[in-house]
Structure 1
Amino acid sequence: MALSDADVKKQIKHMMAFIEQEASEKAEEIDAKAEEEFNIEKGRLVQTQRLKIMEYYEKKEKQIEQQKKIQMSNLMNQARLKVLKARDDMIMDLLNDARKKLNNIAKDSNQYPTLLEGLILQGFYQLLEPKVTIRCRKEDVAMVQAAVQKNIPIYKEAVRCNIEVRIDENNYLSPDISGGVEVYNADGKIKVSNTLESRLDLMAHQMMPEIRVALFGVNQNRKFMD
């Protein structure tokens, strides 16, 4: 049975409608899949950037924390150095005060001659030389001569050796020295400095740990006292 033109047109129209419907559905499917892939990719990119941002700020936070620790350490070191300097200044002030009082010892007519005797005899024992030379202040010559005469028998008795002592009256110690003597061997190459200033310096060095403890208390971080 032959189809009329109207039937053909109707079938063509129906087929076109079907094709359009399938195309529309396919397009919607493609759009949906594209939207899904877009959202997935967008989420991935957002998460990646979020992690990068978090990593960046975590790194910055660590850098800032490290800088804070370094600054705090520097400030503590500066404070510690200031404290140490203040303590050293205090000790130097005490030693300077002690040096100023040395003159009072030499002015004591009862104490100073006995002190000279001890300083001279100690010089003999330290050198253990058969010939020695003593230098002193010009105003102490008479006292030194008396001390030498008193100490020679004591020295001979102790070491069983003779000793010849010369007082150097061509080269006196500076009048700025508070007192005491310098004792030399025969050629002058070995010297024992027993001036009051040198004895004070020696005692200060030996007693420095005790002085620090007396002034500032025990340092808990200090393992050795010498």
Structure 2
Amino acid sequence: MALTDADVQKQIKHMMAFIEQEASEKVEEIDAKAEEEFNIEKGRLVQTQRVKIMEYYEKKEKQIEQHKKIQMSNLTNQARLKVLKVRDDLITDLLSEARQRLAETAKDPERYAKLLEGLLLQGFFQLLEPKVTVRCRKQDVETVQAAVNNTIPVYKEAVKSTVAVRIDQDRFLPSDICGGVEVYNDNGKIKVSNTLESRLELIAQQMMPEIRVSLFGANPNRKFTD
């Protein structure tokens, strides 16, 4: 039985509807797949960028922390240097005041004469030479000569030997020092410096740890005291 035109048109419409349905379903499938892949790729990109941002800020945070530590270290060192400078200035002022007091001591004739005797006797004992030369300030020559005369018997009694003492009249100690003497052996190669300045310097070196503790307290970071 032959198909009529109406039957043919009906079959064509049916086939077209079927094709359209399949095409629509395929499009939906493709859209769904594309959306899924898009979301996956978007998530991957977002995660990648999030990691990069976190790494960037972690690096910046470490740099800032390191910079802060360096600044704190610099500030601490600067503060420590300032403290040390103030302490050194204070000790310098203390020694300067001690020097001024020594100069006042030399202005007291009786006290200065006794001091010279002790300085001379110490020089004689250190050298233990039969002949010595004494150098002093020009203004002290008479006082030193009297001190020598008083000291020789004491030295002779102590060591059972005498000493010939010559006061150098050609070269004097600077007049601006506080006082005291220098004692030399006969050939001048060995010297005992017993000026008031040299004695002050020696005592200051020996007592500096005690001076620092008295002024600033004990150093908690110092392990040894000798």
Tell me if TM exceeds 0.5. Answer: yes
Q: Deviations over 1:105-160 (max 9, x none)?
A: 11222221221111111112222333321101122222322332333344344445
Q: What secondary structure does 1:193 align onto?
A: strand
User: 1:57 matched to which residue of 2?
Assistant: 57
Give the letter aligned to residue 66 of structure 2. Answer: Q
User: 2:126 matched to which residue of 1?
Assistant: 126
1:70 & 1:50 partners in 2: Cα distance?
A: 30
1:77-156 matches, cutoff 5 A? 77-156=77-156
Confirm or deny that 1:185 pairs with 2:185: yes
Give the letter aligned to residue 187 of structure 2. Answer: D
Give the letter aligned to residue 96 of structure 2. Answer: N
Q: Deviations over 1:179-203 (max 9, x none)?
A: 1101112232322110111111111
1:75 & 1:124 partners in 2: Cα distance?
A: 54
What displacement does 1:161 show? 5.0
Q: Deviations over 1:12-55 (max 9, x none)?
A: 22122111211110111011011011011101111110121122
Q: What secondary structure does 1:110 align onto?
A: helix
The size of the alignment, in residue pairs, is 226
Q: What secondary structure does 2:109 align onto?
A: coil
Q: Which moved more, 1:161-170 or 1:174-183?
A: 161-170
Q: Which moved more, 1:215-224 or 1:59-68?
A: 215-224
Give the letter aligned to residue 113 of structure 1. Answer: A
Give the letter aligned to residue 30 of structure 1. Answer: I
User: 1:223 matched to which residue of 2?
Assistant: 223
RMSD value over aligned CA atoms?
1.9
| Unpaired segments ≥5 residues, structure 1 | none
1:187 & 1:44 partners in 2: Cα distance?
A: 96
Q: What secondary structure does 1:189 align onto?
A: coil
Structure 1 residues 161, 3: CA separation in 2 closer, same or farther (over 3 Å shift)? farther
User: 1:71 matched to which residue of 2?
Assistant: 71
What displacement does 1:162 show? 4.8
Give the letter aligned to residue 31 of structure 1. Answer: D
TM-score by length of 1: 0.91
1:18 & 1:47 partners in 2: Cα distance?
A: 43
Give the letter aligned to residue 72 of structure 2. Answer: M
TM-score by length of 2: 0.91
1:32 & 1:129 partners in 2: Cα distance?
A: 116
| Unpaired segments ≥5 residues, structure 2 | none
Give the letter aligned to residue 178 of structure 1. Answer: C
User: 2:196 matched to which residue of 1?
Assistant: 196
Q: Which moved more, 1:32-41 or 1:62-71?
A: 62-71
1:104 & 1:80 partners in 2: Cα distance?
A: 36
